[in-house]
Amino acid sequence: MTRSQAHAPGRRYLNLGCGRRFSQDPEWANIDLRSSHDRVMAHDLATGIPFPDRTFDAVYHSNMLEHLDRAAAERLLRECCRVLKPGGLCRVGVPDMEDIARVYLAELERRAAGGPANRHEWMVIEMIDQMARHEPGGAMAEYIRGHGKADVEFALERAGNVARQVGSRPEAPQEPPLPSLRARIGMALRRWLLSDRELRALQVGLYRTGGEPHLWMYDRCTLGALLTACGFVELSIHEFNQSAIPGWASHALDADPDGHEHAPDTLYMEARKPGSASGPAG
pLDDT tens, position by position, 221-245:
999 999 999 999 999 999 999 999 9
- 79 and 10 in a common domain: yes
Name the strands in the sheet holding 56-62, side by side, starting at the edge strand that comes first in the sequence.
Answer: 40-42, 28-32, 13-16, 56-62, 84-95, 266-272, 233-238
Does a structural domain hold residue 281? no
Q: Specify the pLDDT at position 4.
A: 35
- 68 and 11 in a common domain: yes
- 103 and 91 in a common domain: no
Grouping H, G, I as helix, E, B as strand and the rest as coil, residue 30 is: strand
In angstroms, what is the C-alpha Rg of the chain? Answer: 21
Does a structural domain hold residue 26? yes
Higher confidence at residue 228 or residue 7? 228
- 90 and 7 in a common domain: yes
Confidence of residue 8 (pLDDT cuts 50, 70, 90): very low
Does residue 187 carry a pLDDT above 80?
A: no
- Give 219's contacts (C-beta < 8 A, 6+ positions apart): 96, 97, 98, 267
Does a structural domain hold residue 118? yes
Higher confidence at residue 149 or residue 47? 47
- 88 and 27 in a common domain: yes
Q: Specify the pLDDT at position 172.
A: 44
- 106 and 49 in a common domain: no
Amino acid letter for position 209: T
- Kindly report the pTM of this predicted structure: 0.85
Residue 115 to residue 105: CA distance in whole angstroms: 13
- 252 and 240 in a common domain: yes
Size of the chain in residues: 282
Residue 138 to residue 209: CA distance in whole angstroms: 15
Does a structural domain hold residue 280? no
- 228 and 207 in a common domain: no
- 15 and 91 in a common domain: yes
Number of domains in the chain: 3
- What is the average per-residue pLDDT within 60-64? 96
- 161 and 86 in a common domain: no
pLDDT tens for residues 119-132? 999 999 999 999 99
Does a structural domain hold residue 59? yes
Residue 81 to residue 78: CA distance in whole angstroms: 5
- 150 and 71 in a common domain: no
Nearest to 202 by CA among 186, 179, 182: 186
- 29 and 77 in a common domain: yes
Domain that holds residue 112: 97-168
